[in-house]
Structure 1
């Protein structure tokens, strides 16, 4: 099953998936997923350049292996092209992973390499479309594949993946490939300056801008109670980490409710960009 979302009035998506632990088959993690998007306040009359991807299935090995693939892509490139780039990248990732997984006879040695190759394939597809159309479009992509009680992560750009885990709290897992993040790392500006700096929207790495792209790859073993948040910069630029942590830990909220509440917080904070969230 695959679902791509781009419109503000799309319904939330909720799915519960039992993901087995390859080292203890008698136990499992139940994943509940919710997603919301909104074009934002300042851009509500323009094409939504964010795309959210949710797809899941079961790999037909000797011991069937369920998985879920999630991604947030935030496109750029001018009127219409940002939307085209993010949606094309998401569809290309699904196409690559579907073809790759269907050809496997047994679980691969390295799921992370599979996912990274999928993002690199998406990069080639968007880049080739640029060459054909003489356009300059690109997109961020933060992709997460969950299987065998592990989250495998492939990341390009300044969309983000957060993990909330007790008692540690909220942790940003991905690094922003942006000018302001580099300035913070070099000690030139303070961390809080990223929200107001004139170059805050400039990224130096994206899917589709060049013939090849370097993909940040990592993996996180998951535990019961963990909360993952994938989001575009339209969310995290409007909602600070402390507020994000408070929202994702609000009692009695479903993942869909949480995603919707995060979106509403971004709109209340100004809604300067398209905003998307998967919880």
Structure 2
């Protein structure tokens, strides 16, 4: 199942369980030592208040599939890919950039994982290569059309009990885990993030600084791109939040943490609550959120 969201399906409820195992499949997985996670996912997207009548430059994706197993005695290994991309370029080019980048990534990752058995040490390099493929597609489109478009990309590949993360730009991945609370997993590739790291400005200044919208790394600028990549072990009750800057620039981290920590019926309700607060805060940009909640079966 693949779900690609842009402006025409902003309020579709897409919560579902990552694994549709039978009890026999679960028991077989336990006997063979395969970790089985239940991952409930929801997403919401809104063009924002100030950009409601302009092309939506955010693209988000949720896709899942199965990897071939090593033998008939073990079930196929499921995977889920979550992506947020925020395009830039104006005149519809930002929308084009984010859309073709996400399409390229999902084709690369799903095709690679579905074609043959993979080992855990393959997953992070594979995801990073998928982002490089997406970068190349946007870069080549720029060369063909003589355009200057680009996109951020935050991608999370969940397999067994690990989230593999690849990231370029200033879209974000957060992890919420009790008792620590909310932690930003990705690092913003932005001018203001550098100023904060060097102690030149305070963390809260990133929301008002004149350079707050400048990023120094995105897909499509060059033939290759440096991709941040990491692996995050998952635990029961963890929550993952992928979002564009249209959310985190309008909603401060403590408020994001409070909303994510609140128990709601579905992850989609959590995503919708985040969107509503971003709109109430001004809604200056397109805003997108994917929420994934983890529990063991």
Please indicate the TM-score interval, normalised by the length of the shorter structure.
over 0.9
Partner of 1:224: 236
1:161 paired to 2:173 = yes
Partner of 1:33: 41
Query: 2:264·2:270 contact (CA, 8 Å) conserved in 1?
Result: no
Trace 1:196-215 onto structure 2 (pairs within 5 A).
196-215=208-227
Instruction: Select which of 109, 114, 121 maps to 1:102.
Output: 114
Query: 1:29·1:223 contact (CA, 8 Å) conserved in 2?
Result: no
User: What is the deviation of 1:25?
Assistant: 3.2
User: What is the deviation of 1:27?
Assistant: 5.0
Distance 1:158 1:181, change over 3 A: same
1:144 paired to 2:156 = yes
Query: 1:8·1:38 contact (CA, 8 Å) conserved in 2?
Result: no
Distance 1:23 1:163, change over 3 A: farther
Partner of 2:294: none
Q: Which has the larger radius of gyration?
A: 2
Is the deviation greater in 125-134 or in 100-109? Answer: 100-109
Query: 2:67·2:115 contact (CA, 8 Å) conserved in 1?
Result: no
User: Alignment length, in residue pairs?
Assistant: 279
What SS does structure 1 have at the residue aligned with 2:7?
coil
Trace 1:47-126 onto structure 2 (pairs within 5 A).
47-62=55-70, 63=74, 64-107=76-119, 109-126=121-138
Instruction: Select which of 1, 21, 42 maps to 2:50.
Output: 42
What SS does structure 2 have at the residue aligned with 1:183?
helix
1:242 paired to 2:254 = yes
User: What is the deviation of 1:87?
Assistant: 0.4
Distance 1:196 1:24, change over 3 A: farther
Partner of 2:13: 12
Distance 1:149 1:73, change over 3 A: same
What SS does structure 2 have at the residue aligned with 1:109?
helix
2: CA distance between counterparts of 1:65 and 1:27?
A: 10
2: CA distance between counterparts of 1:112 and 1:150?
A: 10
* TM-score normalised by L of structure 1: 0.96
User: What is the deviation of 1:24?
Assistant: 7.2
Query: 1:22·1:148 contact (CA, 8 Å) conserved in 2?
Result: no
Distance 1:108 1:170, change over 3 A: closer
* TM-score normalised by L of structure 2: 0.90
User: What is the deviation of 1:103?
Assistant: 2.8
Instruction: Select which of 126, 134, 144 maps to 2:146.
Output: 134
2: CA distance between counterparts of 1:252 and 1:103?
A: 37
What SS does structure 2 have at the residue aligned with 1:34?
strand
Q: What 5-or-longer segments of structure 1 have no aligned partner?
A: none
Q: What 5-or-longer segments of structure 2 have no aligned partner?
A: 292-297
Cα-to-partner distance string for 1:147-201 (whole Å, 9 max, x where unaligned):
0210000000000000000011000000000000001111111100000011101
Instruction: Select which of 189, 206, 215 maps to 1:194.
Output: 206
Distance 1:248 1:99, change over 3 A: same
Query: 2:34·2:160 contact (CA, 8 Å) conserved in 1?
Result: no
Query: 2:142·2:149 contact (CA, 8 Å) conserved in 1?
Result: yes
